[in-house]
Amino acid sequence: MKSKIIGTGICVPDGILTNKDLEKKVNTSDEWIVSRTGIRERRRTRNDEASSDLAFTAAKRALKDAGLHLDQVDLILVATATPNMLFPSTACLVQGKLGLKNVPAFDVSAVCTGFIYGLATADAFIKSGTYKTILLIGVDTLTKFIDYKDRTTCVIFGDGAGAVIIKAGKEQGIIGSRLYADGSKWDYISLPAGGSRIPSYRADKSNYYLRMKGHDTFKVAVRGLGQAITELLKQCHASIGDIDIVVPHQANIRIIEALTRKLDYPPEKVFVNIQKYGNTSAASIPIALDEAVKSNRIKSKDIVLLTAFGSGLTWGASLIQW
C-alpha cells in the first residue's frame, strides 16, 4: 500500500503587514529586511482569529480540491506550535468544526518541521493499513507571540495554514522521509511561557515572546538540512539530479540560497514564496505546495523534495512523487 497527496488547500489571513509598516514600529527598513530575509510582506491574524479558524478553512479547500466528502476522512493530524489553547488539541477543535464525530484527531508539535513530521506519521499509518484517508494540516499564528520591538524576529514571521489530503492506493506518492531532533539546542528558538515550566499566572511579559538565536540557528539549519537531504536520497536510492523541484520551508532566503549552493542544485528549480508570506512555520511547506501545484510548477509524476528546519531543534526531509 502506498500513500499519495491527492488534494491541497490553504488559508491566509486578510491582514497584510508590509516592510513599510514595520519601519513605523521598529528600527529597520525595507532594504534591510529584503536583503537579509527575502521577505516583503507577511499575513497577520486579527485578534479574534485563532489557528483552528485558518486550519478549518484550509481543510475544507483541500477536501474540495481532492474531490472527497467529509465522511471519507478517517484521521486528522494538525501540525502546529500555536494551538488555540494547551488542551484540547487544535486537531480536535477542527474535527468538531468539520462535524466528523468519532474520527481520531491529534496535534503534532515539531514547530517549523511539523508538516514533515506529520507527513511521515500519515505515511506510516497508511502503509500499516490503519487508516486510508488522512487530513494533514500545518498551521501557525506566530504573530500573536512576536515582540514588535525586536527586529530580529518581528520581520520574519507570518500566519497561515495549509492542508493536504493523503490517500492510500497503489500509485507511488510518498517515497520516504527522514526525521531528526537535537533537544540540547532547544533554546535556539523558543517560546518559554505558558507551559508547566513557566505557567501563565507567574510569567512576565517577555517570556510570552518568541526568542531566536538567529546566527546560531542559521549555521545549524544549513548543515542539518544538507544532512537530511543527503541521507534521504541515499535511503531512497536517488540522486539530487532526480529531483524535479525542491519545496523548502520558507524560513529565510539566505538559508534557502546557502542550501541550494551546498547541494549544487539549480536555484530556478527551488520554489520560493517567502516574499509574500514570511515564515509561517508548519504552514510554510503546504502553502508553498499548493501554490506550486496551482501555478503548474509541480506537474503529475514530478519528483518533489520537501525539507524543513525548526525549533526543538528539529529538521527533516521528504521525497514524494506527485
Q: Which residues are catalytic?
A: 112, 249, 279
- Contacts of 277 by beta carbon, 8 Å cutoff, 6+ apart: 12, 41, 42, 43, 158, 160, 250, 284, 287
Q: Which long-range contacts (CB under 8 A, 24 or more apart) does 231-236 make?
A: 231/178, 232/176, 232/177, 232/178, 232/305, 232/317, 232/318, 232/319, 233/319, 235/176, 235/178, 236/175, 236/176, 236/319
- The number of angstroms, rounded, from the C-alpha of 226 to the middle of its chain's C-alpha atoms is 18
Q: SS in 3 state form for 84-108?
A: CCCCCCHHHHHHHHHCCCCCCEEEE
Cβ contact 243:318 at 8 Å: no
Secondary structure element (H or E) that encloses residue 54, with its range: helix 51-66
- Contacts of 295 by beta carbon, 8 Å cutoff, 6+ apart: none
